Chains A and B, each alone.
Chain A
Amino acid sequence: MVVAGGGAAGLAAAVAAAGGGARTALIERYGFLGGMATAGMVSTVCGLYLTTHAGPPEPLNEGFADTFARRLAAMPGCEKPARRGRTFVLPYAPLAFMSLADELTASTPALDLYLHAYLVAVERRGDRIDALRIATWERTIELAARAVVDTSGDAVVAHRAGAATETAPVPDRQLPSLVFVLQHVEPEALLPGPRVALLRALADAEREGLLRKGSANLTLRPSAQPGEVICKLALSGIADEVSERRDLMTVAEQEGRRRALALVAFLNTLPPFARAFISHAAPQVGVRESRRVVGRYVLTREDVLSGHKFDDAVARASWPIELWQEGQLGATYEYLEDGQSYDIPGRCLRARGVDNLFVAGRCLSATHEALGSARVIGTCLATGEAVGAMAARAAESR
């Protein structure tokens, strides 16, 4: 079988399938695995633990997600689960995430990993995909497949195979965010009070025209390293700049870096940030929403908020519906009842109209709102593992 896209979901799917003995190819466009977790430098795994206002972190899914999280937490530069309001996140260093992914793939004999590999064509015959053609750094390869898993994040395989997909129009889509990392920030700058004062200063500067529009849509999190702060800049107001000659992602990357640099120049005028500089920025902006599969069931906002349980459940999730939308500062959160979780049914991981096509991660079958919860990395690990097993069974029975 072939897994297209080596983010959290694709990694989990490939390791699960190959670990169970299915000969599996995993293809990834970058030179490292992890997707948004590494290329997008999200830097906290969300969705691993039950959302509840009290008590210790309670893993939602046994198996790959939990094992991966425990191993990740023990790696250099990573931390233990940290409480964020009503839930927990797992702060990690992107290099640790990709190293752990390297280790897992290298130690799975039935798994062939292709890095720097791009999807060129999908060979479809009738209601099945026969093969994926990929181009690696050195050659073009045809990978025959009894089952195909689309963990591209953007439903690239499904789209090319002609399966039903849905793409929110750019103005309605969740905002992408650029992650960049500051060094030499004085620690008192991010205590609760000064942090609010800082955000207010940014909002004022933006209103007064000292900063570009959208520059105040910034969240800051100190890492475990002294003086290091991980910044996430939500890119509002870029939809207007998209044109026939300039794609959204081109605008997002360039505008994101431009805003980040201007922002830090402004921060340098504030004493705790006087020596701060950007040591590195994510290789790509973090995408929260793009194209997704319309599968055999479409997960809804009501399913999420009511903690719906399904007979064909394959994963549990509990992250609030977190939406980053145009025209608002920060995100809005809609929580499940305290201590509740919802199920993701297996039907959300099956494409319609293409028998042997499976999907997991950000491009699973869900509405815009439901995806606001189901898109997070912890849930991607869980749906990935589930889809790996499902697709391996389908490949075997063929």
Chain B
Amino acid sequence: MSPRMRKKAEEPILPSPPRNDPDDVARTLTDFVNKHIMARGRPIAPDDAFEAAGVDSMGLLKILVFVESEFGFWMPDEDLHEDNLASPRALARYVCRRRNGSGPPDAG
């Protein structure tokens, strides 16, 4: 039994959050941004535009790396456009679309 499976079995009352819920994913992304990119002062909200909030392209790159490790797939270059990268909410929609099988997630 892998450690991960054992942990799950021990915590049946607290299931891991539904990872393909856009609100939940948006919250996860927002938390990451506020903790690791916007170090302090006026934290961003899920619907805030990254650019207006002061997240630069280097910040977006950090978010992509986070998406890759947290949700287990790679965003191909052609998906890196404004519609998907505008805000935590927009990116969350993309993440959930990918996880819901419109294009199978890459092996993570």
Contact = CB atoms under 8 A, between A and B. Distances in A.
A196 B80 contact: yes
A203 interface: yes
Nearest to A339: B42
B61 to A, nearest CB: 5
B57 A335 contact: no
A330 B82 contact: no
B77 interface: yes
Contacts of A335: 38, 40-42, 54
Contacts of A336: 41
A333 interface: yes
Interface string A304-333: 010000000000000010000000011111
* A contact patch SS: mixed
A200 B67 CA distance: 13
A199 B56 CA distance: 11
Contacts, number: 78
A333 B64 contact: no
A333 B39 contact: yes
Contacts of A102: none
A201 to B, nearest CB: 8
Given A192-B85, A194-B80, A53 B53 contact: yes
A334 B39 contact: yes
A85 interface: yes
Contacts of A334: 39-41
B18 to A, nearest CB: 28
Interface residues of A, number: 27
Contacts of A338: 42
A86 interface: yes
A254 interface: no
Contacts of A71: none
B83 to A, nearest CB: 9
A62 interface: no
Interface in A154-209: 192-197, 199-200, 203
A337 interface: yes
A219 interface: yes
A333 B38 contact: yes
A336 to B, nearest CB: 6
Contacts of B52: 53, 85-86
Interface of B: 37-42, 51-62, 64, 77, 80-82, 84-85
**Which 6 pairs of residues, A with B, have the shortest CB-CB distance?**
A85-B54, A330-B58, A335-B41, A193-B81, A193-B80, A197-B77
Interface of A: 53, 84-87, 192-197, 199-200, 203, 219, 305, 320, 329-338
Given A84-B56, A192-B57, 15 more contacts: A85-B55, A86-B42, A192-B60, A194-B77, A196-B61, A196-B80, A197-B77, A305-B41, A329-B58, A329-B62, A330-B58, A330-B59, A332-B39, A335-B42, A337-B41
